[in-house]
A and B are shown apart, each in its own frame.
Chain A
Amino acid sequence: MTRDLTVGQFIPGHSLMHRLDPRTKLMLTFLFIIQVFLTKSALSLLFLLLLLWIYIVCAQVPAQKVFRAVRPIIPVIIVTALLNIFYVSGHVLWHYAFLRITDQGLFTGFTLLVRLITLIAGCSLITYTTSLNALASGLEQLLAPLKRLHFPVNELSMTLSITLRFLPTLAEELDRIIEAQKARGAQFGTGTILNRIRAFFPVILPLFMSAFRRAFELTNAIECRCYHGGEGRTKLHPLKLRRLDYAAVIFFLAAFAMTLIFNGIRQPF
């Protein structure tokens, strides 16, 4: 399970997507999410898939990796899609007892399936193409206006980037602890629910202990490197918007408009 974790799995590279300013990427990801939710017609759905393909190509991330990000939530997606199939009214295609499948339901379910997969896949691209520090400093800059309200923006972005940085480390550790406990005869995933929950204590406790130990050592390490909040901090690579960023924004806005247009065109259903 932990191997599918995409957060913090930056793949270094020099693709178009890699070279975008993190602020641009954050904003555009946000725009993309809205776009996915607004996608309604079959045509705009097709267009969305085309866009996803373009983005994956621009990011030069193996498609396999992108869909690995989707895998852990496939059950959720399927359940949601199924519920939609049975609950949406329309022309009845098949029925048994209280279950009815309608053409509209089928379409809505399928749409939802595609939209959710696109959403996750699209969002995973930003974590694959942006280093966590870039992501954090992008967020920091975007939230900078809040500083005037005494909101600790720098500290928040530091906390965030450290959290993201340690997720894979802790995931690896979790796997190791599970293996170690299995080697001592612990059994996971058998017995009653209560037993199953109880079986996870010997995993969670060591994980917590080790997380705390790491936190102490990390605190010392960043203090040794003169960290004292965001005050007076500079950057190795200060963020700078370039022509590429403006081009990307224009492209995304155009794509957004296309989705709205495609939504409006009369649908076959």
Chain B
Amino acid sequence: MSALIETQNLYFQYLHHQTKQKWILNGIDLSIHQGEFVAILGPNGCGKSTLAKHLNGLLLPSDGSVQIQGMDTADHQQLDAIRQTVGMVFQNPDNQLISTLVEEDVAFAPENLGMKPSEIQRRVDWALDAVDMLAYKRHSPFKLSGGQKQRIAIAGILAMRPQCIVMDEATSMLDPKGRADVMRIIKRLNYEFGITILLITHHMDEAAEASRILLMNQGKVVMDDRPEHVFYQIDLLKQLKLDVPQVVELVLRLRHQGIRLPNPIIHVDQCINALIAAREEDYGTY
């Protein structure tokens, strides 16, 4: 099976032929398949967002190539097709909404693609329903909360029916409630609609939801593995100045105190179950 997203030997620096600065992206080989849920972690300035912007042709590689379903992002003819395949949601919802009416905002992409009004309407309703915002169709986005606005921004991308959505720190400006809502939608898009998700985040609990984590540093992918493996590389995480997930920290301390816990624990409920199991093993069931 060919990959949805494939980067080969990707190098990037702004105006690379004029400046002698080191690469922002320093040789990235990556393939992401249909239906994956990938989190990208890394310290500030490691090239996460720059990588993301290569995935639908917002930036073009200085060297190497990026292929989306076999289409090269450098091929100007296929840019529309590429952008319909890989959508992107950004950090600040306010800067992504272009209309004063929710419905019109979501319709923006299909309008640009020259679809028939009936088809646009169908897509708008479907997209708003998928993010649980159908009731706000005729509202003005400005009165909504950050989380709601971000869900509308997601709907605006969904209206193109993309195969993949890249979330460039899309939850980092939201309050806890908004963050939880957006994460719930992201998971639904992945599980129910089979949309590939690339989640760029600083929150370890969000990354824990992914099926695969890319750890980046200085323009390179330094680790590419399942979360339960990545999260237990404590030294590497600390070296990259990333948080060690609280659950992992707790598990390690408990183990240090001699409490036996099974290996890959990355979620809070996993940890609770393991603790109950360990206790039952020691003292018998209640």
Contacts and interface: CB of A to CB of B under 8 A. Distances in A.
Interface of A: 8, 10, 12, 131-133, 161-162, 165, 168-169, 214, 217-218, 220-228, 232-238
Contact of B88 (A214, A224, A227, A233): A224
Given A169-B94, A234-B120, A131 B58 contact: no
A235 B156 CA distance: 15
Interface in B122-166: 124, 138-140, 142, 153, 156-157, 160
B156 A225 contact: yes
Contacts of A227: 108, 112
B110 to A, nearest CB: 8
Given A225-B109, A234-B115, A217 B100 contact: no
16 contacts: A12-B140, A131-B104, A161-B99, A162-B98, A169-B94, A218-B95, A218-B96, A221-B88, A221-B98, A224-B56, A225-B87, A226-B83, A226-B84, A226-B113, A227-B108, A236-B110
Nearest to A135: B100
Nearest to B168: A220
Contacts of B142: 168-169
B112 A226 contact: yes
A12 B138 contact: yes
Interface in B73-104: 80, 83-84, 87-88, 90-92, 94-101, 103-104
B117 A131 contact: no
A133 B101 contact: yes
A214 B104 contact: no
B121 interface: yes
**Which range holds the interface residue count of chain B?**
35 or more
Contacts of B224: none
B58 A225 contact: no
B99 A131 contact: yes
B84 A223 contact: no
Contact of B114 (A12, A217, A234): A234
Given A217-B90, A232-B114, A236-B103, A226 B109 contact: yes
Nearest to A168: B142
Contacts of A232: 114
B90 A236 contact: no
Contact of A220 (B90, B107, B138): B90
